[in-house]
């Protein structure tokens, strides 16, 4: 930790947030490239998921 009490290393950020150091490295790279806009959810590959609320249930109760 830094003197101000904030974690700075990838491993300390990962431990504090419950993710891997690889994820922290991705976050940091995206932030350096695009600042805050880079931290939003990125589009995922593949077919767009449909909401389960838009489909009728396959069972009846």
Q: Where are the domains of the chain?
A: 1-40
Cα 15 to Cα 37: distance, rounded to the nearest angstrom: 24
pLDDT, tens digit only, all 61 positions of the chain = 567 776 688 998 899 899 999 999 998 898 888 888 777 777 778 887 776 665 555 655 5
C-beta of residue 14 within 8 angstroms of C-beta of residue 23: yes
Global pTM? 0.55
Separation between Cα atoms, residue 25 and residue 61, nearest integer Å: 47
């Amino acid at each position: 930790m830094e003197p101000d009490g904030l974690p700075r290393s990838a491993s300390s950020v990962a431990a504090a947030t419950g993710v891997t150091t690889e994820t922290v490295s991705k976050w940091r790279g995206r932030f350096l490239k695009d600042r805050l806009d880079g931290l939003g959810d990125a589009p995922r590959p593949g077919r767009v998921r449909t909401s389960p609320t838009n489909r009728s249930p396959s069972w009846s109760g």
